[in-house]
Structure 1
């Protein structure tokens, strides 16, 4: 019983995290799934993996429905919790894509059922019949739902993105410019239509509205880095949500994360997560 669950634990966490955009909530869901598995009559379970994924998906749907109200009252922009990942996080391009911060943000605009259907189909390769059983809808309804979700995501996801090597190169230049307090260099790395979001949750100081344009973004960023409370902070490049990002630490403790989108050699979007309650996934 334990071996079966542990063999699928990574998959279950991956499904819950993509559904919820929260490391803490995903860990809770996996624990709840374990309790459900422990109580279940396993003699009647023909396919344990499918049973466990269905359990996690349904638990996540319930959690996501209640979480929407909390997020609507959130102070400032709400961003998914950043997650340290390794080069083998993907086990396939689709799985890596659906863990990126940009796509997780888009998934927030889907209904809970659309999100479940999209992820089960696009990330985990479930058939429409299998998904129908998970979400309790007809196969025809699931097909329609999957089509709507796919079109919605396609319309809102970044159209042009840098590959991993180019993104890492841009991250290195951006890190060097920020560390040196070089406004001119930071400006050269930002696209004319760059947008920046900061998630402090009202717990720590952060911009409570998106910032637009390179000059506004650059001056705000360098102003934050010059504050006394962040003196001694270190920044390094690491893989966050399947892509090169910046991990910020203070006295060795995670202080925040920066993820970004880039195209044609410039940064088009920046996302800062500094809410200390959302940094659980940045601890190795």
Structure 2
């Protein structure tokens, strides 16, 4: 085996980790694959003898490719709701690659990461999710190690958010919202009714609804049936902190399309709103729920 073949073999051994890194930095599996492929092409243009630490070299190259992409597009990309139909189709035709399934990452987390600046996102993902020391992160973002640490800390605060209610109350509300989403995904009208207050009101931005659907529904029966009719979209919804309270987001490819805010009273949903207007979505403070942060491997100090 010559040096080039050995390099290719080592690259394949790193591909999964590189793809995971790029996915968290860019939010899209397709873009992540492109970034990893670009790294492979760049590797083909260097002398193997010049690469002393291949994993570190590849991580640096992939990070720089992703950082350039993030800077070119800015933050909080606005997308059309036509992506909902595409996402629902993709849900029925999931990728067959076992490595993709093994690296499943919450779309809610990706939507939160999309609210960070490019430098914050790189510093946070590399340090908190891949345990890269700040001495190695600093040159990638053009900062000192101390400033890179501050970038990650600021990002961590945004990702974790600040709940507007005590932990016990947050947990109760999450239980209610999760039960609602579970029933909604199944189109289970009785299950939805069990978590709705009798006088519940659902409001929705026009862009969040199919043509002709009512923007406002009142009463548990009307809301339950209207919710069940959109079961396909409910499959894409994931719980998140929305303005400090338990809500849900629909964010295929890590791009926020819809947000749901809930009012919970006496362990029942007394109202919820579906937001789709880009201006309204931009004003939301998104964060991951505490247990979601733990399961995502967010560590950091």
Q: Give the TM bin, normalised by the shorter chain.
A: 0.5 to 0.7
What is the CA-CA distance between 1:59 and the residue it aligns to?
Answer: 0.4
Deviations 1:125-166 (A, max 9, x none): 01111111333321121112112111121216897569xxx9
Q: 1:75 aligns with which of 77, 80, 94?
A: 80
2:240 is the counterpart of 1:269? no
How far does residue 173 in structure 1 lie from its aligned partner after superposition? 4.3
1:165-202 CA deviation, whole Å, 9 max, x = no partner? x99987664444x0x5x1x52243479899999999xx
Partner SS, residue 39 of structure 1: coil
Check the 8 A contact 1:196/1:217 in 2, yes or no: no
Deviations along 1:95-119, one digit per CA (max 9) or x if unpaired, are x7xx322221111111011000000
Q: Which SS does the other structure have where 1:260 is aligned? A: strand
Give 1:65 shift.
2.0
Report the counterpart of residue 47 of structure 2 in structure 1: 41
| Alignment match of 1:260 (pick from 219, 229, 238) | 238
Superposed CA RMSD: 4.8
**Given the superposition, is the C-alpha separation of residues 103 and 172 from structure 1 closer, same or farther in structure 2, using an over 3 Å criterion?**
closer
Distance 2:38 2:216 in 1: 39
Residues in 1 aligned to 2:144 and 2:218: alpha-carbon distance in whole angstroms: 46
Cα 1:100/1:140, change in 2 over 3 Å: same
Where does the alignment leave 5 or more consecutive residues of structure 1 unmatched?
A: 91-95, 226-247, 249-254, 275-284
1:32 aligns with 2:38: yes
Within the alignment, does 1:22 sit opposite 2:51 as a pair?
Answer: no
* Bigger-Rg structure (1/2): 2
> Displacement of 1:48 after TM fit?
0.7
Q: Provide closer, same or farther for how the CA distance between residues 148 and 51 of structure 1 changes in structure 2, counting only shifts above 3 A.
A: same
**Residue matched to 2:228:** 222
For residues 13 and 127 of structure 1, what CA distance do their matches in structure 2 show? 20
Q: Which of 146, 159, 176 pairs up with 1:153?
A: 159
Compute the displacement of 1:68 (Å): 3.1
Change (3 A) 1:190 1:7: farther
SS of residue in 2 equivalent to 1:148: helix
Question: 1:186-241, CA deviations, whole angstroms, 9 ceiling, x for partnerless residues?
Answer: 243479899999999xxx9699xx9999969755433345xxxxxxxxxxxxxxxx
Aligned residue number for residue 68 of structure 2: 62
Structure 2 gap segments, 5+ residues each: 1-6, 254-301
Distance 1:33 1:141, change over 3 A: same
Q: How does 1:159-170 map to 2 (within 5 A)?
A: 160=170
Deviations 1:245-284 (A, max 9, x none): xxx6xxxxxx995232289xxx84252749xxxxxxxxxx
